[in-house]
């Protein structure tokens, strides 16, 4: 948090706030361009890295219990270009990737990685976005209440709940909730996607949202406390503004910047699926495909999902970076 | 013969409010502040008890982790049978198993953190001390690795390295979790290297490796203490996730994550199999978080 504050604290005269119309737009475009110059090579490096790591792995996808005839194995390897030099394999993979072709699953011969992602991603994204939405609203509300009543009974109560949300892992809360609401009370289905039926989504979303509420409440409280101590807030109060105006107009925007920087990567994180939640509730999302892929050494699936995820995170960080500058005009634009 | 700051009882008894003109050293003041934080001290006691019991469980209990009794399969917790936490599908004592699992979970949490700490401190101090092109290259490497999701990255490493043993598990966690540590250390190094004593060390011609080892590293590690404490529960949690997914600790060894995974399968018939390991894991995570928060407040009291 303090690093965050240090970053915001870098007061600059060249701020978006003072720029008008076209100037601000040009600065923004320049910034986007500069960020993309970093982001695109990063994605490329990640593609190379995950390709290399997986190539280094001992054991191939065709290591079966039964011995495969060497001739058949050779044919299989030829079919997947595994007999070519590694740079050629990479180039083939990379050029296909640019055309949206993530390759073929080694295990499910009839499905391409793109198919698996296209089928799984909506499931993961739906669950994840709902969870982060609930987490953000709940967390910000709780965090603000706690910050305004600092060191009171309410504050301790909220922070205890937040701490519980963070410390109790999802693979404990999820089965517990399934046990209580599914088996004992019989209110909700405990497993399966049901074609996206609402009752099937409630438990996974709740299990995923709880820790988010906790984390966001803590970040919000910290950010708000930092800002409430600021001189300009004291000025606002001393000139007799109503407390509600001080909070809503003066404190909130700056106080929530740390939350924004948390939300970006977090959205990418939940969108690609909580591996554990999908496993517990038997949801056909890409988190589960990833674990299955890892267990079965289904390299194309693992790589495809990793690359998708990393790209999403980088895009989200870019968005956060830009919205940061809109929220906090002190952040240097030209950096 | 007591060194100031090490004598717990005296510190707790002699704790007085921070006031101007306080003659205590900064370290002593931080220590006193920590000892007055009830939840942090409670956390410390819980971790202490948990560690001691886990280490000595083979001596304390006549039953082994694999001792099977067919008369008591899925027997609920009871004081009469002597199975305080009940038994699992194979009639193994859950009480004993929970503490054996604690050994593995705590050990992996600590070792993974130690590895992350070592990599982070070495990487961060080198990057910060040399600066320039090397620094920006090393930091770009960090940025790239940051874009890879932690759990994904660890799962890939664990599967790629094949053997699912404890060694691989904690090495992989440690090998991924050092990034933030390196950034904090680098930031500290940038300010420490400006200090006069570093200047002096350079002037008397000390080799760079010695300057790093003697003057930079000892002075930057204090900045990451809070982060290290908070990383331990994170790593315990990651180990549990891996074991839960079947990618971490394997039978016949066991960890809290593995017990919880087995418990969640049986939760309809035997909820205690889920309850006790989950309780132990959660209490441990809480305790470490309280200690970390207590340390932060003690070292940087401006938020109080």
Average pLDDT, stretch A77-98? Answer: 78
Residues of A in contact with B300 (CB under 8 A): 2
Q: Do B267 and A163 touch (CB under 8 A)?
A: no
Q: What pLDDT, on the 0 to 100 scale, is given for residue A126? A: 87
Poorest-pLDDT segment among A102-116, B111-125, B280-294? A102-116
Number of residues written out for chain A: 335
Give the total number of structural domains in chain B.
Answer: 1
The helix (H) or strand (E) run that includes residue A119 is helix A113-148
Work out the average pLDDT over B148-160. Answer: 78
Q: Examine the pLDDT at A280 and tell me if it is beyond 80.
A: yes
- B108 CB contacts (<8 Å, ≥6 apart)? B166, B169, B170, B173, B235, B236, B239, B249, B255
- Which pLDDT value is given to residue B22? 65
Q: How far is A289 from chain B (nearest CA, A)?
A: 12
Q: Where are the domains of chain A?
A: 114-327
What tens digit of pLDDT does each residue of A230-250 get? 888 888 888 888 878 888 877
For range A176-181, the mean pLDDT: 83
Output the DSSP codes for chain B: ---TTT-HHHHHHT-----TT--S-HHHHHHHHHHH-HHHHHHHHHHHHHHHHHHHHHHH-SS-TT-B-TTSSSPPP-SSSS-TT-B-TT-BBHHHHHHHHHHHHHHHHHHHHHHHHHHHHHHHHHHHHH-HHHHHHHHHHHHHHHTS-HHHHHHHHHHHT----HHHHHHHHHHHTTHHHHHHHHHHHHHHTTSHHHHHHHHTT--HHHHIIIIIHHHHHHHHHHHHHHHHHHHHHHHHHHHHTTSS--TTS--HHHHHHHHHHSTTT-THHHHHHHHHHHHHHHHHHHHHHHHHHHH-GGG-
* A323 exposure class (CB count in 10 Å sphere: 0-12, 13-18, 19+): middle
DSSP 8-state code for residue A297: T
Virtual torsion, Cα A241, A245, A250, A253, nearest 10 deg? 180
Q: Looking at the domain assignment, is residue B255 inside a domain?
A: yes
DSSP A126-141: HHHHHHHHHHHHHHHH
pLDDT higher for B167 or B88? B167
Give yes or no for A5 touching B (CB within 8 A). no
- A8 class by beta-carbon count within 10 Å (0-12 exposed, 13-18 middle, 19+ buried): buried
Interface probe for A, chosen from B154, B160, B226, B283 (most Cβ of A below 10 Å), is: B160
Q: Domain of B258?
A: 37-303
Least confident window among A212-221, A293-302, B229-238: A293-302
Which of residues A16 and A87 earns the better pLDDT score? A87
Q: What does pTM read for this prediction?
A: 0.77
Question: Is A297 in the B-facing interface, judged by CB distances under 8 Å?
Answer: yes
Predicted ipTM of the assembly = 0.71
CATH number, span A114-327: 1.10.3720.10
Does the distance separating the beta carbons of B246 and A295 come in below 8 Å?
Answer: yes
| Residue range B83-105, pLDDT digits in tens | 667 777 776 777 888 888 888 88
Any domain includes B28: no
Which of B149, B285, B303 is opposite residue A313, by nearest beta carbon?
A: B149
Residue A167: which of B155, B160, B289 has the nearest Cβ? B289
Count chain A–chain B contacts defined by CB atoms under 8 A: 114
pLDDT bucket at A273, cuts 50 / 70 / 90: low
Does residue B13 belong to any structural domain of this protein?
no
Q: Which of A167, A182, A262, A277 to mutate to test the interface with B (most CBs of B within 10 A)?
A: A167
What are the contacts of B34-38 at 24+ separation with CB within 8 A? B34/B294, B34/B295, B34/B297, B34/B298, B35/B8, B35/B11, B36/B12, B37/B294, B37/B297, B37/B298
* Identity of the residue in B149, B160, B187 whose CB atom sits nearest the CB atom of A309: B149
Q: Provide the CATH number for the domain around residue B284.
A: 1.10.3720.10
Q: For residue B80, name the pLDDT band (cuts at 50, 70, 90).
A: low
**Interface contact B282-A279, CB threshold 8 A:** no
pLDDT computed for residue B180 by the predictor: 87
Contacts with B281 from chain A: Cβ below 8 Å: 169, 172
Nearest Cβ partner for A294 among B159, B264, B303? B159
């Amino acid at each position: 948090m303090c690093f965050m504050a240090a970053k915001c604290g870098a007061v600059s005269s060249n701020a978006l706030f003072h720029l008008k119309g076209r100037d601000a737009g040009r600065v923004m475009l320049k910034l986007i361009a500069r960020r993309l110059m970093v982001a695109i090579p990063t994605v490329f490096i990640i593609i190379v890295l995950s390709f290399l790591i997986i190539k280094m792995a001992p054991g191939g996808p065709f290591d079966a219990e039964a011995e495969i005839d060497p001739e058949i194995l050779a044919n299989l390897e030829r079919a997947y270009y595994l007999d070519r030099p590694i740079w050629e394999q990479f180039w083939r993979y990379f050029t296909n990737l640019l055309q949206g072709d993530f390759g073929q699953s080694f295990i499910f011969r009839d499905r391409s990685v793109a198919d698996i992602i296209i089928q799984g991603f909506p499931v993961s994204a739906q669950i994840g976005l709902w969870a982060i939405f609930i987490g953000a609203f709940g967390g910000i509300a709780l965090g603000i209440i706690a910050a305004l009543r600092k060191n009171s009974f309410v504050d301790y109560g909220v922070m205890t709940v937040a701490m519980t949300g963070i410390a109790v892992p999802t693979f404990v809360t999820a089965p517990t909730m399934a046990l209580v609401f599914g088996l004992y009370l019989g209110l909700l289905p405990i497993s399966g996607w049901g074609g996206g039926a609402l009752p099937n989504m409630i438990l996974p979303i709740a299990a995923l949202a709880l820790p988010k509420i906790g984390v966001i409440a803590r970040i919000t409280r910290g950010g708000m406390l930092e800002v409430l101590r600021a001189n300009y807030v004291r000025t606002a109060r001393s000139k007799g503004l109503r407390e509600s105006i001080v909070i809503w107009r003066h404190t909130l925007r700056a106080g929530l910047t740390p939350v924004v920087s948390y939300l970006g990567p977090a959205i990418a994180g939940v969108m690609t699926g909580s591996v554990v939640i999908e496993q517990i509730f038997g949801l056909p999302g890409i988190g589960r495909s990833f674990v299955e892929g890892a267990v079965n050494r289904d390299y194309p699936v693992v790589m495809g999902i990793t690359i998708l995820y990393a790209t999403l995170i980088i895009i989200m960080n870019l968005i956060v970076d830009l919205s940061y500058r809109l929220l906090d005009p002190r952040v240097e634009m030209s950096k | 013969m007591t060194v100031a700051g090490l004598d717990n009882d005296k510190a707790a008894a002699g704790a007085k409010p921070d006031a101007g003109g306080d003659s205590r050293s900064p370290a002593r003041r931080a220590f006193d502040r920590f000892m007055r934080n009830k939840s942090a001290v409670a956390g410390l006691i819980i971790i202490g008890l948990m560690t001691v019991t886990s280490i000595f469980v083979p001596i304390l209990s006549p039953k082994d982790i694999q001792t099977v009794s067919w008369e008591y399969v899925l027997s609920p917790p009871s004081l009469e049978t002597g199975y305080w936490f009940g038994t699992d599908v194979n009639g193994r004592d859950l009480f004993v198993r929970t503490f054996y699992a604690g050994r593995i979970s705590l050990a992996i949490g600590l070792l993974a953190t130690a590895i992350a700490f070592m990599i982070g401190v070495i990487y961060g101090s080198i990057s910060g001390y040399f600066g320039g092109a090397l620094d920006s290259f090393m930091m770009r490497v960090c940025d790239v690795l940051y874009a890879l999701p932690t759990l994904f990255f660890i799962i890939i490493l664990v599967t790629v390295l094949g053997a699912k043993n404890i060694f691989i598990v904690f090495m992989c966690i440690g090998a991924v979790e050092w990034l933030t540590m390196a950034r904090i250390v680098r930031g500290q190094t940038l300010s420490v290297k400006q200090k006069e004593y570093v200047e002096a060390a350079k002037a008397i011609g000390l080799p760079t490796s010695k300057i790093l080892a003697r003057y930079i590293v000892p002075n930057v590690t204090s900045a990451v203490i809070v982060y290290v404490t908070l990383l331990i529960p994170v790593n315990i949690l990651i180990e549990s996730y891996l074991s839960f997914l079947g990618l971490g600790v394997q039978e016949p060894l066991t960890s809290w994550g593995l017990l919880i995974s087995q418990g969640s399968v049986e939760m309809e018939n035997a909820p205690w199999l889920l309850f006790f390991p989950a309780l132990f894991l959660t209490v441990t995570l809480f305790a470490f978080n309280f200690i970390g928060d207590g340390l932060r407040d003690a070292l940087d009291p401006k938020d109080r």
